[in-house]
Amino acid sequence: MKKKALIFIGLIISTVFLSGCSLNFLGRRSGIQITSNPQAEVTINGQSYGKTPYYTESIKPGDYTIKLVPIDAQLQPWETKTSLSSGYITIVDRQFGKTQDQSSHYTLSFEKLSDKSATEVNVISNPSNVSIAVDKNPSGFSSRPLDNVEPGDHTFDFTSPGYQDKRVQARVFVGQRLIINLTLSPQPVIPTPTPTPLDATPSATPTPSTAANITPLPKQATTSALAKPYVEINSPQLGFVRVRAEASVASAELAKVQHAEVFPYKDMEVAGWHYIEYLKGSWGYISSQYAKLIQ
């Protein structure tokens, strides 16, 4: 009997892992799951609870302060506040970088809605105004709530120019507001090589310089160097195509890409539009009328 109970609990944990969940058997209790990379010491309201991953279903609803201290002493501790709702599992995940600015995190928590038949997703992001795709469908920005997401499990993709993409698996419930609070980590800074000045003295013997191993930020890729799928710009009359923040001609223009250039492609399943990486780490939409998809 004890073995069956352990198997049952294991199945529950694997189901809610990093997605958030409602567990009716919790009653008036709450649950929380805390993960990190690398592993960290967990402190909740000043009390130690061991190392990540940490999971419990026997904690009172309310406001809590969570502190994670990485086992790698060179990394900085991190602290956040979150609210636990009765009958729901709150998710906290921290990805430690070398500094606070290079780290990322997200939390999934829930609040009751006044309309018990409604759903809502509220995204609080850093940076602000992050682009959101729900199940690969562009759904707006983090500056306003999403009130048209169906109940059930969903994949949320978050993108912002200059930051690394983030994907979060989360569950939406009727009568509950899902709050996704996340911080994106910036794209690595690519150093610009400093030119070596030439010696103006004719009699000087030039010193051979060692070429720096720099990864360039290409404006244009070549088909021989680009893995499929990719998009080739086909606009000989205009000579360029506008890259937009959303799949709409009314959306903000991010850049212009030139005829015959090729770019990495990501399938967002939006009719009439292609989602391309027009600069390294920066994504936007172009009209499929002026581009050819190579798969």
Q: How far apart are CA 39 and CA 68, in angstroms?
A: 9
Provide CATH 2.30.30.40 ranges for the chain: 230-294
Q: How far apart are CA 16 and CA 57, in angstroms?
A: 12
pLDDT of res. 270:
82
Residue position matching structure tokens 């209790």: 29
Supply the pTM of this predicted model: 0.61
Cis upstream peptide for 229 (omega within 30°): yes
Domain 230-294 sits in CATH at: 2.30.30.40
pLDDT of res. 80:
96
Q: How far apart are CA 138 and CA 271, in angstroms?
A: 11
Q: How far apart are CA 247 and CA 236, in angstroms?
A: 22
pLDDT of res. 256:
87
pLDDT of res. 18:
52
Q: How far apart are CA 92 and CA 37, in angstroms?
A: 12
Provide the residue type at 52 as one letter.
T
- What is the mean pLDDT for each group of 10 consecutive residues in the chain (295 residues)? 37 46 64 95 97 94 96 95 93 94 95 94 93 92 90 94 92 95 86 60 48 40 71 84 84 86 88 87 87 88
pLDDT of res. 223:
55
Q: How far apart are CA 78 and CA 84, in angstroms?
A: 19
pLDDT of res. 209:
44
